[in-house]
Every structure is written in C-alpha cells, then in structure tokens.
Amino acid sequence: MTHFKFYGLLERAVWQKVETGLLPVLGYFSKQGTDFDLQDIFQRFTFDSVCQLVLDFDPCSLCVELPYIPCEKAFNDAIEALLYRHVLPESIWKLQKWLGIGKEKKLFEAWKAFDEFIYPRIEVVNQKDDDFKLLTDFKKAYQEKNGCSSDSRDFLRDTALSLMFAGRDTTSTCLTWLFWLIATNPSTETKILEEIETQLHIKQDKKWRNFNVEESRKLIYLHGALCESLRLFPPVALEHKAPIRPDNLPSGNYIQEKTKVIVSFYSVGRMETVWGKDCLEFKPERWISASRRIKHEPSYKFPAFNVGPRTCLGKEMAFIQMKMVAASIIYRYNIRLVEGHLVSPRDSIILQATNGLRVSLEKRNVRL
C-alpha cells in the first residue's frame, strides 16, 4: 500500500468518485435546500472507492437516487453484531448463531449479501492483466504459493472483504466526526480554508483543481484536525487482547492466560493524564510543531491505528483520501448542523454516529 503505483490508483479512484459521485450529490442537496445524512454520504463514498480499488468495480451507491445496495448496508449490521461477539461470553453468541437469532441472525444475512456481491467480481479477476490491480496481485501470490490449479476463490473473498471492512467504515466515521467537530468549532473551518488557499495556491475567486498525494501532505492543519477527530472519536474504539501466558499489566494487575482484556481507545484519547487539561477540546493546533510540521505522537498515546505488530496498513492511504474529500467539501460548502438532531456514538465495533449526521449546505462564493 505504500507502492507508488498504488498511490496512483488511489488518487484516480478518489478524485473520480469526488467528481462523479460526491459533488453532484452535494450540489443536488444544496440546490434543493434540503437536509440530509452526511454520514450516509461518506459511507457510500468510501464503499464505492474501496470497491473500485479492491475489486476494480464501482457499484455507484453514491448518486442522487441513493440506491439501496444490500452489501453496502450489510456492513452496518455486521459491525453491530461484531461488538456483541467481543463482549458476550463465547457460548452465548455461539448459541445465538446456532439458533439463528438476535445479532447473529443479522450477521448471517450480512454474510449472504457479501458473498453475492464479492464472488461474481472474483470470477472476472484476470491474471494476465498488466495493470496494477490488487486482487490480480493477490491471486498471483496465492497461486505462486499453492500451485496454479489451487482454488483461490475463498482466499480472495476473505481478502477483499477484510480490505472493504478496513477501508469503508473507519474512514467514513472519521470524516463524519470531523465535520461535526468543525461545525461545532467554526473558527477551525476558517483556518482549513486559509490553508487550502495558501498551500494549494488556489484563491477563492479561482477555479478549483484537484491535488495530488504530494500536495495533500502540505495540508498540515487539516491533518491536525483529522488527528483530533481520531483522538476524540477513534473509529475503532476498542481493542481486544488476551495473553497466551499469565502476565502483569503495566498497571500492576496480574492476569491469567486467555483473560479477555478490552482496551478502550476512546478513553485513552480523553484522559487528562495523557492529553492534559484541555483533553476534551478540539484543537488541531496541538498536532502542529513550531516549524509547521505534524508532531509525532507514540501509538501508545494515540492508538487510533492500533499499537504494536497489528498496526493499520492503510493509515497513509486513509489520510490522503480523507484530505481529498474534506478539502473538496470545505472549499465549496459551509456545513450547518440540523437543529435538534441528536448526534451521539452508536454501540457498534465502529464508532459511527447513531441516527447519522443531519446537515444542510450553504454554497460558498466560488467559481467552480
């Protein structure tokens, strides 16, 4: 994922989705003057772009009709059921699975939707394809290891699904909370706008142009704002570990082998002892050094992308994508929260906003 060809693929997939999906849909809502759920829009955006990247196929879930695509919605049911698997005793969720009831029933149905969506795309993976394509490369690697005649279908299905899970909900959730935080802290919006104009050399009266991966790295303040969103609302809000041998935790607590330890990333980001007295404030500045660079924070202090050997592989990619999306919206629109709409985190393995994020748009005075 750090291969330069992958960045090229990412850049094309994201900008294409911004231009053919995101902007037409936002333009439609802005013209109609109606409010809408921004979280749903982000989920559709990330679903379409991750499908394009992983499966080389765009399901076009992001368009003004907002079509119902079973696989896209199945992610929401699956992540809710997965939270219960972490907190319920294994025997209980396994019994529910066997009886086909509760959250396990929803998870079973989600699996069906994933299979129906992914298998047909796998059938058309072409190994002779010279372009850089993820599934083609995975298939080649699998067959090099297991022989040319080995059946790679299940491996490719699982690989594609893991990447779709990893890429869809995390990024869309971070963007959702970013826009909520900006809307409730308007001074940060002005600073992001100033940064877009000065660093990308576009003035409000000039035509917008897309920017590349290198240029996205210049958006330091926006990067800090995204880190704040990840600190206060880490999309993967908890991590579950179990020791293979009895162990002593840094706190001094002794734990038996296989003890379930749940670490709350959400709490770490809000602890005064870790982040100081202003830990509950949204302050992108805390991430920016005097020489205008992003301050590095150790993953044990900022665990949004996990800690240790299973660290997120898509971190860099996520920042690039989120900056492209956020900058495109902020440059064109002022986002207003719908009064009286309660925004709070949902109980699922991913910290989405319950009932979404209802907003309306006010167009800025730019020539597009």
Contact footprint for ligand HEM (CB under 6 A): 163, 166-167, 170-171, 174, 230, 235-236, 239, 304-306, 310, 312-314, 317-318
CB nearer to ligand HEM: pick between 74 and 236: 236
CB nearer to ligand HEM: pick between 318 and 335: 318
Shortest Å distance, C-beta 307 to ligand HEM: 9
Shortest Å distance, C-beta 213 to ligand HEM: 14
Positive or negative: CA dihedral 166, 168, 174, 177:
negative
Shortest Å distance, C-beta 163 to ligand HEM: 5
291 three-class SS: coil
CB nearer to ligand HEM: pick between 29 and 84: 84
Q: From CA 54, how far away is CA 233, in angstroms rounded?
A: 26
CB nearer to ligand HEM: pick between 14 and 122: 14
Q: From CA 146, how far away is CA 338, in angstroms rounded?
A: 55
Cα–Cα–Cα angle for 176, 177, 183, nearest 5°? 95
Name the nearest CA neighbour of 317 among 50, 112, 10, 89. 10
CB nearer to ligand HEM: pick between 34 and 267: 267
Give 227's strand partners.
none
Shortest Å distance, C-beta 357 to ligand HEM: 16
Give 362's strand partners.
334
CB nearer to ligand HEM: pick between 63 and 312: 312
CB nearer to ligand HEM: pick between 143 and 306: 306
Q: Given the structure tokens 């809307």, which residue do they identify?
A: 183
Shortest Å distance, C-beta 264 to ligand HEM: 12
Name the nearest CA neighbour of 54 among 313, 349, 264. 313
Shortest Å distance, C-beta 59 to ligand HEM: 16
Q: From CA 219, how far away is CA 15, in angstroms rounded?
A: 17
Name the nearest CA neighbour of 367 among 330, 331, 329. 331
| Residue with the CB atom nearest ligand HEM in the bound state | 314
CB nearer to ligand HEM: pick between 185 and 306: 306
Q: From CA 321, how far away is CA 327, in angstroms rounded?
A: 10
Shortest Å distance, C-beta 241 to ligand HEM: 9
Residue 141: CA count within 13 A, CB half-sphere: 9
CB contact at 8 A, 69 and 59? yes
Shortest Å distance, C-beta 197 to ligand HEM: 25
Shortest Å distance, C-beta 94 to ligand HEM: 21
Which residues in 69-125 belong to E strands, given as ranges?
none
Per-residue CA distances from 169 to 15, 23, 43, 231, 239 (Å): 19, 20, 7, 16, 16
Q: From CA 275, how far away is CA 302, in angstroms rounded?
A: 10
CB nearer to ligand HEM: pick between 21 and 314: 314
Q: Which residues have C-beta within 8 Å of that of residue 87, sequence separation ≥ 6?
A: 262
